[in-house]
Structure 1
């Protein structure tokens, strides 16, 4: 179930004679079986020696496939140093940010570079950890970091949009001139998604579709874009791409039970088949209606949610019709609607309901008296 807070495994239990069915749901609970991991094992920051105390440098946080308290809860630096601390908190819309905080001014002439590890710890018992190595290169100049025009970008795209279609464009500005003001963009995707679904133009910031989207597989994609200037300063923004459903899935008819042949003395109202209809699309695209071509001897009636029963509605006569071919058509409410057809071949078995009948009620014949 990925990052979903709840995880349900639904299925049906079907009993026959008499025909009954029960819906069962199993709730799956998370255990701490994944360690936090950083997208990159080594991160390099180029920081100006003129940076003020309290300056913050965004660091891409660790990801954890677990959820709730089993996911990342805290970060620390090892070995502890007097120049940097790590901050993990919330800014907007409950989005977590990880930043390095400069505790005291740097002096390139005293330390040209330094390195340490950032450790992510989850809330499991026992806790699991993940580590990334941070290297700090201290620069002389470039005193302006890139700034995104928004902290979070939201875009919508239809799931049938072709490859290389532009979803949206992110923009970061830098007040520095020359190389220190040249910005390049880098894209990464959140945990649980493929890293090749989208691509970004490193110069223009255009985010494009890299492979076909599927609303039924993922309704949204959370991306992170890093803007880095020529001096090594960077900024991170969030991008949420919402996938809009299109009617690309035809309804499915799944037969749970089917009885054939039927005795010709079967009483009206007898259940011949039990089946369910489903559609992976959402909204009107997933709303299904069912119809039966032959309404004279058989009909459909709703059973439970998306379940339907095929039942007899009048007396059967094998001597008149020995086989019925019934076609059930399921159609969704999309525009245009998609349909699928399920064929039921019902054979009628004979019962002894007809006595012998003579062709005539009486016979008259003439016989010569001298016949042998």
Structure 2
């Protein structure tokens, strides 16, 4: 104090107040990154990768990393130990695959995982200060991606496959794996990267330039080839197709090497037999000859050959019926003798017993295949003349078709026309004339 009437005495001093940090912030994960607009650390995730079907030797490596946290308060009297633990995650069974060291924060893999089953883990990581019930904590997401193993292309069991299809098969009919047609040809590729119990997702691509075949709908990892167009063995006996498999189980989608599918068309009896034209031919399905009455019984007066565009695996392929179409009293003086595809027309009796004249016969050839029996009948003309009779001249060929190229020189021969005459059993042929350009 000051005496009355005296001036007051003053003095100043500086007081420093230190604000001590209280334990009011939970831990934060490192590295703590800021930007100009942030109040605290920017949120981030710890990210790591593992390879499927393998167990990593040692802790997982995270980026950014390693996993670490520190107390969010500074200069606190006592800094609690920070403990780490997983609280939840996707998939729910993540704890079967990973565990975390509560002190160091190191994450270890417990068992292998398949990418096809779990491509990624997303787990919530919690850092807690101390162990009291009201301890402060922070959380962050840990993302672990599962990298697939994809070292190999899909592959087939063989590079060449054989299939069979019956001609005339309806659209949608499968190609068979054998001529017996008991089961369809199944084509299946495998992926060496996958284990036996893993699902192999694959698509197949077929290259058939003819468009006769397509792929059936895929059945899991298998497929079949089915008919898409007309099948006729007489037009095409064999098809060669190319095929590849492209995996869709992995992101790389490797394509297999191309394989060959050879398809053989199995024959169906859908064509009648036919007679091959020869010297007795006088028209379409017409054959003729002239004989004299001095021929003896058993003489072969005509030979014909039968063929069929359908395959014939048996020894006996054809049956024949010969019938006399010209009215004749008594039994026919002509008969057929056959050995498979060769048929001979012979005299049953001496020709002297056969009245002179023209005889018309029908010769039917039938195949013996099942389920269809197909036939063709031709007409045979046999003229019987006396021993010393002379036949009038006939043309060796009934019809001529010839072509002359543009620019053919004048006088060039384009056809030679012949006639023949039967004199005393001698067949005499001469050139009647020539056709030429003018």
TM-score, normalised on structure 1? 0.46
TM-score, L = length of structure 2? 0.40
Larger Rg: 2
Q: Which has the higher contact order (CA 8 A, sep 6+)?
A: 1
Higher strand share: 1
